[in-house]
Amino acid sequence: MPLRGDGRLNHDLMPGEKGPQDACGVFGVWAPGEEVAKLAYFGLYALQHRGQESAGIATSNGEQILVYKDMGLVSQVFDETALNALTGHIAVGHCRYSTTGGVTWENAQPTLGATASGTVALGHNGNLTNSADLVNLVAERYGAQRRGELARGNTTDTALITALFAGDADRTLEATALEVLPRLRGAFSLVFMDENTLYAARDPQGVRPLVLGRLDRGWVVASETPALDIVGASYVRDVEPGELICIDADGMRSERFAEAERAACVFEYVYLARPDNTINGRSVHSARVEMGRQLAREHPVDADLVIPTPESGTPAAVGYAAESGIPFGQGLTKNAYVGRTFIQPSDTLRQLGIRLKLNPLREVIKGKRLVVVDDSIVRGNTQRALIRMLREAGAAEVHVRISSPPVKWPCFYGIDFASRAELIANGLGVDEIGQSLGADSLGYITTEGMIAATEQPSSQLCAACFTGKYPIELPPDDQLGKHLLEQAELPLGPPEDGLKHLAVRTGGSTALDHP
């Protein structure tokens, strides 16, 4: 059985501690004459932080589409043999963390579906909020019998998009997309293709990032700019909110399916995106350093040393140190080879918790008054264990500074936080949280300070997880939830063999088989 990714990002330092989870990374390339599967592989490698549960790549040679996907990290799923079998001039890649549907092979992407004129392979970053309405639309248009990915047990909102892309007879995928995309609500950065064309689309709010790049002999679309860098593509621009991009032998063309109503996720700047990413013209690293500077202005303290929680707190700690004049130091060393362990620790080891990944540099911190900078607090278990460990190593004082406001609200647009009841900031005030953690003091950056560091207008950012103000209207509670499409009462009948709806000439008869 293959190793299964656990979806945890490097921010989670304790076994079993659930931090903020991102949705996915998407990558697409149109490049005749290039090894597009390998380009997609390295693009996904650069996006691995966005999802570690499963990975997949689809390619087209102009006549058929092949898909290879499995559970685990990109480097676990693919080898030279698999990549060499994925031939063609178009590729779509995906690495997943689940925000709808369970952690199963059936829910891995890219999804594959029949269209009126061929086949579509699709990768999705984000989370739709009107899935219940889309289920009814699928049933209305194509009947209650489950087809395609839905017939094979896929329970994601991505499968609903794929089903709706089936379209009508004699209608192109492009025309179908322009009709379907305005019906989607929530967050979606999509990269998809048929046998001849690569497509990219972004929701009208532009919640999740998506960028366009240029190769010498082709085009690339990706969730973040580092994925362009790794394949040697030059950044062209961000895909605009409400835009559909089409790339084929006739070149690149753009069509608008909705007017932009920008509400980009501010948490991308705080934590989710790689620090070497650029979002809407703003360097993520620079934004995080500035958050640290603002944090020092808002919450100064007399101390001897500023240390980060590796790696997520480092840029903000650099900014805090620069603004405060307190020296920056590495008070913690991280084991780079335990990003995830599949062996459950014994009770004795579990009590040591955080030491599996971090250990203090005693000679650096002993007797020092420390400022410990991190990007966010979710449950607080990690910070509590970290503070205890620093005190045991001889720290005289531990002052915690957080480069985002208290997380109080769930995200319905593609981040899987702990439940609202589990969020420590919902039950306690700032001073009470500090006492609970065992810190000498605790300071969070203000929402205004965080947003100012992004250099984006506050009216064009989503900060709902901090403020509770959701820019995209939410449906009733019973129409939300990660496992909505697994409910038996949905108006879709029992599965039938979805493969027979895919013509053999498209490669669909084997592309969905488990590798």
Positions at the binding site for [4Fe-4S] cluster: 265, 411, 462, 465
CB 102 within 8 A of CB 158: no
The first and second tokens of residue 495, run together, are 């599965």
Catalytic residue among 23, 24, 301, 407: 24
24 as an active site residue: the answer is yes
Q: How far apart are CA 160 and CA 148, in angstroms?
A: 10
CB atoms within 10 A of CB 240: 17
| Distance of alpha carbon 215 from alpha carbon 56, whole angstroms | 22
Q: What are phi and psi of 278, to 5 degrees?
A: -125, 125
Q: What is the DSSP code string of 359-428?
A: EE-HHHHTT-EEEEEES--SSSHHHHHHHHHHHHTT-SEEEEEESSPPP-S--SSS-BPPPGGG-HHHHS
Task: Tell me if 201 sits within 8 A of 188, measured CB to CB.
Answer: yes
CA atoms within 13 A on the CB side of 437: 32
Cis peptide leading into residue 410 (ω within 30°): no
- Structure tokens, 49: 């932080």
Output DSSP code: residue 21: B
Q: Return d(Cα 297, Cα 310) in angstroms, integer.
A: 22
| 12-16, Cβ contacts within 8 angstroms, sequence gap of 24 or more | 12/382, 13/309, 13/354, 13/356, 13/357, 13/358, 13/382, 13/385, 13/386, 14/353, 14/354, 14/356, 14/357, 14/381, 14/382, 14/385, 15/341, 15/344, 15/345, 15/350, 15/353, 15/356
- Whether residue 58 contacts residue 65, with contact meaning beta carbons closer than 8 Å, is answered with yes
Q: In angstroms, rounded to a whole number, what is the distance separating the alpha carbons of residues 384 and 315?
A: 22
Q: Which residues of 116-129 are buried (b: 16+ CB within 10 A; e: fewer)?
A: ebbbbbbbbbbbbb
Token pair of 223 as six digits: 């969730």
The CA distances from residue 464 to 287, 374, 447, in Å, are: 19, 20, 11
CA distance 274 to 385: 26
- DSSP secondary structure letters along 316-351: HHHHHHHHH-PPB---EEE-TT-S---SPPPHHHHH
Instruction: Tell me if 260 sits within 8 A of 85, measured CB to CB.
Output: no
Q: Which residues participate in the annotated binding site for Mg(2+)?
A: 312, 374-375
Active site residue ranges: 24
